[in-house]
Amino acid sequence: MRIGLFILLVCSSLSAQYQTLFQSGDLGYECFRIPAIVGSGSKLYAFAEGRKGGCGDFGDVDILLRTSSDGGQSWTEPQVVVDNGSLQAGNPTPVIDLLNPEYPEGRLMLFYNTGTQSEWETRSGNGRRKAFYKFSSDLGLSWSEPIDISNEVHFDRFSTKEFKDARTFALGPGHAVQLAMSSKKGRIYLPANHSLGDPQENFADYRSYGIYSDDFGKTWEVSEDLPVPSSNEAMAVELPDNELLLLIRLQNNSDRSKMIARSLDNGTSWKEYHLVPELTSPVCQSSIIYSPESDDLYHLGPASTEKRENLTLWRSTDRGRSWKALDIVESSFAAYSDIIQLSNTELGILYESEDYHKIIYKRIAIKPTD
């Protein structure tokens, strides 16, 4: 029988309540943004962009990693895992590949994109965005050389596979997924978005879509575009029965809410898509995760139509068709986030706080009661 009432409890340990993993000024970075977190067992991997010239999206941007071997109680010092010289390497989108027989102990994969000019310049037909991944088979201690998958997933004027006049391009951000319950078990799936053709009013040139690999990253395919103008950053979640959801940011925020797209073929095409009025949004990325034990979805994002604030945890008991707010995690400024299930009764969240001055990790217990 489904337990009807859930009480949200923050873990009693002070260190578990509030840990600053990245802070402005550390290691010479003026700003840290775009958190992402994945894990397996007690091992956690927390990523963020380190921005050297301020908090702007474009510039000298690296990707850094901190790891934990005790479920988030303590963390290693930050290490730079991607450095694109004086240019941008961003949108960390990690996943742990646990199903590749070549890596029986699993491997950590980090996907990201690079850029040579600002988003506006790229939308206008200048500059170039590319997609890469690196992997680690020793728990993040060492990393492979970057593997360029741009030609297979981003169809710009440089593509030899297909041409769509795609211009901007971004992955995720936040954790990707490896399908484990479906007929495509092992598929690595990442949300992406691109702009198509010249810039349009209200960001109508943007479209969300997905990229995926059925051979553990050797080759790549793309889903159909979501036919929704201004669909942008997204996060994917696998459900049973070959179902996959995208939680989507709409860049034109006239409806001031998130959108969910539903696929019944493991993310290849989109059966339906709809606004979710309960999930209010001030034009901001947010995060989602599925708990197979309880058949619940959890969503974390700012519950506001105007400002990035009131970071709230929602729960859906009907696979994303309706949502109920459980608790406000952070009432003041909070923006991008990621979420991980630590156990049947505990979540870990990683989010931007204090006007982008900090990226904070918290553990939250979900305790069922009669």
How many structural domains comprise the chain? 1
Quote the pLDDT of residue 10.
Answer: 37
Give the residue carrying structure tokens 């319950």: 181
Q: Rounded to an integer, what distance in angstroms lies between the CA atom of residue 166 and that of residue 49? A: 24
Q: What is the band of 36 on the pLDDT scale with cuts at 50, 70, 90?
A: very high
Identify which of 176, 60, 49, 185 has the alpha carbon closest to the alpha carbon of residue 115.
60
Quote the pLDDT of residue 255.
Answer: 86
pLDDT in tens, 206-226: 999 999 999 999 999 999 999
Asked if residue 9 has pLDDT above 50, the reply is no
Residue 70 falls inside a structural domain = no
Q: How many CA atoms are closer than 13 Å to the CA of 340, on its beta-carbon side? A: 28
Quote the pLDDT of residue 162.
Answer: 87
Identify which of 345, 298, 304 has the alpha carbon closest to the alpha carbon of residue 323.
298
Q: What is the band of 18 on the pLDDT scale with cuts at 50, 70, 90?
A: confident
Residue 68 falls inside a structural domain = no
Averaged pLDDT of the chain = 93
Q: What is the band of 367 on the pLDDT scale with cuts at 50, 70, 90?
A: low
Residue 143 falls inside a structural domain = yes
Asked if residue 14 has pLDDT above 90, the reply is no
Quote the pLDDT of residue 370.
Answer: 28
Asked if residue 164 has pLDDT above 70, the reply is yes
Residue 148 falls inside a structural domain = yes
pLDDT in tens, 340-365: 999 989 999 999 999 999 999 999 98
Q: What is the band of 253 on the pLDDT scale with cuts at 50, 70, 90?
A: confident
Q: Rounded to an integer, what distance in angstroms lies between the CA atom of residue 349 and that of residue 366? A: 13
Q: What is the band of 135 on the pLDDT scale with cuts at 50, 70, 90?
A: very high
Please say whether the dihedral angle defined by the alpha carbons of residues 156, 233, 222 and 40, taken in this order, is positive or negative: positive
Cβ atoms of 172 and 217 closer than 8 Å: no
Helix (H) or strand (E) segment spanning residue 150: helix 150-153
Q: 106 lies in which domain range?
A: 5-15+84-342
Q: 287-291 and 272-280: which strand pairing?
A: unpaired
Asked if residue 12 has pLDDT above 80, the reply is no
Q: What is the band of 139 on the pLDDT scale with cuts at 50, 70, 90?
A: confident
pLDDT in tens, 88-104: 999 999 999 999 999 99
Rounded to two decimals, the pTM is 0.94
Q: Rounded to an integer, what distance in angstroms lies between the CA atom of residue 327 and that of residue 367? A: 13
Minimum mean pLDDT range among 4-8, 38-42, 53-57, 153-157: 4-8
Quote the pLDDT of residue 366.
Answer: 84
DSSP conformation letters of 189-251:
EEEEEEEESS--GGGTTEEEEEEEESSTTSS-EEPPPPS-TTEEEEEEEEETTTEEEEEEEES
Asked if residue 1 has pLDDT above 70, the reply is no
Structure tokens at 245: 């959801």
Mean pLDDT of 185-202: 98
Residue 95 falls inside a structural domain = yes
Helix (H) or strand (E) segment spanning residue 120: helix 119-123
> Cα 241 to chain center, whole Å?
23
Count of Cβ atoms closer than 10 Å to residue 209 Cβ: 22
Q: Rounded to an integer, what distance in angstroms lies between the CA atom of residue 231 and that of residue 253? A: 10
Omega cis (within 30) before 173: yes
pLDDT in tens, 299-318: 999 999 999 999 999 999 99
Percent of the chain at pLDDT > 70 equals 94
Quote the pLDDT of residue 224.
Answer: 97
CATH number at residue 246: 2.120.10.10
Residue type at position 124:
S
Quote the pLDDT of residue 368.
Answer: 53
Residue 319 falls inside a structural domain = yes
Mean pLDDT of 111-119: 96
Residue 197 falls inside a structural domain = yes
Percent of the chain at pLDDT > 90 equals 90
Residue 129 falls inside a structural domain = yes
Structure tokens at 177: 């997924």
Q: Which residues contact 318 (CB under 8 A, 6 or more apart)?
A: none
Quote the pLDDT of residue 157.
Answer: 92
Residue 81 backbone phi and psi in degrees, to 5 = -110, -20
